[in-house]
């Protein structure tokens, strides 16, 4: 594949107060095997206050075309939209300021887009080797932040896996879908929601596992707690925009007694195992980690469930009224459909009778045509027989003419023969002598 066949790629990175990590992400993009004149990196500074703007103004690496866009703090969705609008590439690759790209990342994205048009390409995201892979990190990587083992067919990945840590799409498709919804103020669900709209316009998400980036982010129980609270708030925004997916978002779990029982059991087991770990490690008193989960959480959960149940009951009553209206509407439509079907049957019967009459006329016409064709064949046979007779007569006349011409030529030769002339003169003389006198 020639260099000109590869698309021009704009790598869009939103960043907020990641001054220490951002240079490593840019270094990974500077070391790509992709032709350096076929890509650019657009970093959108989303209102950083840690000196990121000064870093980007002074930052420079060989072979890296870097653009810096400053913005007020409006969240990652708005930052990505700003980068998307100002990007010059025909393909946009979204990644994070804490993601370090494999050297062939852009090459795999670019090659896939050069072979097929109506797709978005999802790359593979793995934890960076410097991260400590404890049980929490393993669980997050396989079941929470990404879910590659559950994707199934790599040529038809669900829109729920549109991960902006490593995903690319054509700029025209992203703009046609409307870009990221800026109602999402957190880095949660704004990418999945855009993935749904891309699927709605016919863009198919495919997995290119060889396109790898490494997520350099060490999570702890404390950090993931804040992260999950933001995810919960974003889930509510998502559910308001796509109520048909509300059940899949876990928004209704607050009013689910079974979920409450499971959660309570897990919480009790957590406190139990915490005590086991403290005693086995020789601790003599409860540590400060007890503040990680407040002991009044069950009371909060109960009061929240009560409020949520009230809202659910009200929504249930509204839904029942809407269902009754829908049932009446369905009954009205069914009656209309019955009337339409009756008229349609009558029309079909009339049309079938017309078709039968037309078919009978066609059969009569076909019979007339067959008789006419038979007459034409008989006439053609007579004409053919007469033509044969004419040709035989003409051949006989031609042979007679040849014989006559031969006789005439023989007679001319005889008349030109001298003895014939003498005999002809003697014959004429004898006739005169024998002629009786006048």
pLDDT tens digit sequence for 279-329: 776 665 554 444 444 445 555 555 555 555 566 667 777 778 888 888 888
Nearest Cα neighbor of 238 from 16, 77, 46, 71 is 77
269 and 159, same structural domain?
no
Distance, CA of 125 to CA of 120 (rounded, Å): 16
272 and 185, same structural domain?
no
Write out the residue range of the structural domain in which residue 46 sits.
Answer: 3-249
180 and 72, same structural domain?
yes
CB-neighbour burial class of residue 41 (10 A; exposed 0-12, middle 13-18, buried 19+) = buried
Residue 37 predicted with pLDDT over 50 = yes
Last residue of a domain, one of 249, 274, 307: 249
Predicted pLDDT at 307: 58
193 and 60, same structural domain?
yes
Task: Please report, for the domain that includes residue 89, its CATH number.
Answer: 3.90.550.10
Distance, CA of 183 to CA of 161 (rounded, Å): 20
Predicted pLDDT at 92: 97
What is the layout of strands, in order, in the sheet containing 39-46? 66-71, 39-46, 9-15, 91-95, 166-170, 119-127, 204-215, 99-101
Query: Model confidence at 412, in pLDDT bands (50, 70, 90)?
Result: confident
Distance, CA of 367 to CA of 67 (rounded, Å): 83
In a domain, residue 344? The reply is no
Predicted pLDDT at 304: 55
pLDDT in tens, 322-380: 888 888 888 888 888 989 998 999 999 999 999 999 999 999 999 999 999 999 999 99
pLDDT (average), residues 4-32: 94
Predicted pLDDT at 290: 45
Predicted pLDDT at 136: 76
Residue 264 predicted with pLDDT over 60 = yes
In a domain, residue 202? The reply is yes
Listed range (98-102, 147-151, 402-406) with the worst mean pLDDT: 147-151
What total of structural domains would you count in the chain?
2
pLDDT in tens, 145-173: 788 888 889 999 998 899 999 999 999 99
180 and 276, same structural domain?
no
Q: Which helix (H) or strand (E) holds 45?
A: strand 39-46
In a domain, residue 90? The reply is yes
In a domain, residue 399? The reply is no
121 and 213, same structural domain?
yes
φ and ψ at 304, to 5 degrees?
A: -65, -40
Token pair 């990418």: residue: 191
C-alpha distances in angstroms, 351 versus 356, 366, 421?
A: 9, 22, 99
Token pair 């700029």: residue: 171
Average per-residue pLDDT for the chain: 85
Predicted pLDDT at 291: 44
254 and 187, same structural domain?
no
Last residue of a domain, one of 193, 215, 249: 249
φ and ψ at 66, to 5 degrees?
A: -115, 130
Residue 245 predicted with pLDDT over 90 = no
pLDDT > 70: percent of the chain: 86
Token pair 């006048």: residue: 438
Distance, CA of 34 to CA of 105 (rounded, Å): 8
The tokens for 86 are 């100002």
127 and 79, same structural domain?
yes
Last residue of a domain, one of 234, 249, 264: 249
In a domain, residue 124? The reply is yes
DSSP string, 278-333: HHHTT--S--GGGGGS-TTHHHHHHHHHHHHHHHHHHHHHHHHHHHHHHHHHHHHH
284 and 190, same structural domain?
no
260 and 221, same structural domain?
no
DSSP string, 71-110: E-S--HHHHHHHHHHH---SEEEEE-TTEEE-TTHHHHHH
38 and 171, same structural domain?
yes
In a domain, residue 240? The reply is yes
Q: Are 227 and 145 in contact (CB under 8 A)?
A: no
In a domain, residue 70? The reply is yes
Residue 184 predicted with pLDDT over 50 = yes
284 and 174, same structural domain?
no
Predicted pLDDT at 295: 46
pTM for the model: 0.62
């Amino acid at each position: 594949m020639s260099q000109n066949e590869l698309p021009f790629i704009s790598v869009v990175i939103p960043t907020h107060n990641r001054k220490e990590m951002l240079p490593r992400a840019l270094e990974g993009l500077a070391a790509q095997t992709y032709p350096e004149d076929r890509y650019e990196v657009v970093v959108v500074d989303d209102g950083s206050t840690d000196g990121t703007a000064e870093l980007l103004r002074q930052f420079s690496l060989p072979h890296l075309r870097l653009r810096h866009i400053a913005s007020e703090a409006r969240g990652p969705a708005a930052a990505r939209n700003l980068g998307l609008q100002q990007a010059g590439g025909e393909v946009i690759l979204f990644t994070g300021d804490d993601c370090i790209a494999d050297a062939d990342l852009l090459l795999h994205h670019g090659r896939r887009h050069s072979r097929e048009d109506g797709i978005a390409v999802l790359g593979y995201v793995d934890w960076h080797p410097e991260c400590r892979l404890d049980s929490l990190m393993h669980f997050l990587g396989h079941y929470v932040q990404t879910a590659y083992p559950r994707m199934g067919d790599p040529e038809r990945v669900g829109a729920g896996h549109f991960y902006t840590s490593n995903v690319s799409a054509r700029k025209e498709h992203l703009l046609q879908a409307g870009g990221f919804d800026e109602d999402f103020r957190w880095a949660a669900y704004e990418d999945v929601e855009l993935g749904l709209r891309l699927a709605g316009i016919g863009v198919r998400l495919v997995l290119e596992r060889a396109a790898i980036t490494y997520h350099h982010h060490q999570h702890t129980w404390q950090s993931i707690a804040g992260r999950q609270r933001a995810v919960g708030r974003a889930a509510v925004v998502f559910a308001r925009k796509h109520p048909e997916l509300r059940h899949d978002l876990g928004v209704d779990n607050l009013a689910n007694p079974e979920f409450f029982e499971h959660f309570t059991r897990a919480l009790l087991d957590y406190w139990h195992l915490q005590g086991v770990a403290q005693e086995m490690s020789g601790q003599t008193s409860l540590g400060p980690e007890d503040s990680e989960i407040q002991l009044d959480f069950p009371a909060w959960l109960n009061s929240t469930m009560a409020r949520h149940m009230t809202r659910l009951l009200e929504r249930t009553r509204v839904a029942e009224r809407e269902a009754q209206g829908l049932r009446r509407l369905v009954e009205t439509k069914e009656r209309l459909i019955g009337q339409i079907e009756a008229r349609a049957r009558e029309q079909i019967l009339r049309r079938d009778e017309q078709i039968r009459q037309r078919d009978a006329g066609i059969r009569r016409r076909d019979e007339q045509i067959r008789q006419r064709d038979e007459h034409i064949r008989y006439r053609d046979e007579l004409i053919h027989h007469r033509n044969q007779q004419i040709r035989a007569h003409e051949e006989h006349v031609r042979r007679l003419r040849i014989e006559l011409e031969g006789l005439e030529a023989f007679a001319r030769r005889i008349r030109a023969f001298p003895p014939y002339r003498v005999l002809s003169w003697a014959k004429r003389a004898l006739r005169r002598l024998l002629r009786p006198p006048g």
